[in-house]
Structure formats: structure tokens, C-alpha cells
Amino acid sequence: MNLEMQQFKAEFFKALAHPLRIKILEVLSEGEMGVNEIQSTIGSEGSAVSQQLMVLRSKNIVVGQKNGNRVIYSLRDPLIMELLQVAKQIFNNHLVDQISLLDKFNEQEEDAAAK
């Protein structure tokens, strides 16, 4: 794989590496919204939402369109939500593995205590 593609991927994932940005993307998956709507939906301060939207815009993950004195934001590519869904599935798989490991550990502890 060429270096430019690896660099793009690294920068893209870096832009996603913030809980508030993920939350904003999840909200925008429901439809386009202005900053105030996003803020009230996620219960965060406007300045924090604006800062995170700026990061997402700079990486072309969201786009903003002027509508009067408001800027309406939307996902640039709907595949972003599929990516987040896959990440959730990976997280769930990880949890299942961890629970299985914990169950095995508890069984070993019970067996050792019974002896």
C-alpha cells in the first residue's frame, strides 16, 4: 500500500478519535442539522460542538452549507456510519472475548477453591 493512502487513513482515523466527534457523526446520521440543533441533541456546549465540527470539516468528514445566517451540517459520505457500525461490532466482539476469558478465569478459581 502506498504511503499517501496510509497517511490519509491515519489522518482520517485521527479525526474520528474523539468521543464528541463520534457523537456528532451519530447525530448527523439522522439528518442534517445546525450547530444549535446538534448542541441540544447531544447536550454539549456550543463552543465544544463548533470546535469539533471544525475538525471534522477540515478532514472532509462533514460538510457545512450556509442557510441564511446558519450553517447546516451533514455527513460528506454516508459510508462513515457504516464504518462506525463496523467499529461497534468489533467492540462487541472484543467484549465477548473478554467475557469468555473472565468466565474461564472464574471457573479456574472455583476449581482451585474446591480442591
Write out the residue range of the structural domain in which residue 40 sits: 1-76
Is the same domain home to 20 and 60? Answer: yes
Cβ proximity of 61 and 15 under 8 Å: yes
| Integer Cα distance of 27 and 25 in angstroms | 5
Is the same domain home to 65 and 82? Answer: no
- pLDDT one-digit tens code per residue, 26-38: 999 999 999 999 9
Residue 1 predicted with pLDDT over 70: no
Is the same domain home to 84 and 53? Answer: no
Is the same domain home to 90 and 64? Answer: no
Band the pLDDT of 96: cuts 50, 70, 90: confident
Is the same domain home to 14 and 31? Answer: yes
Number of domains in the chain: 2
- pLDDT one-digit tens code per residue, 6-23: 999 999 999 999 999 999
- pLDDT one-digit tens code per residue, 52-85: 999 999 999 999 999 999 999 999 999 999 999 9
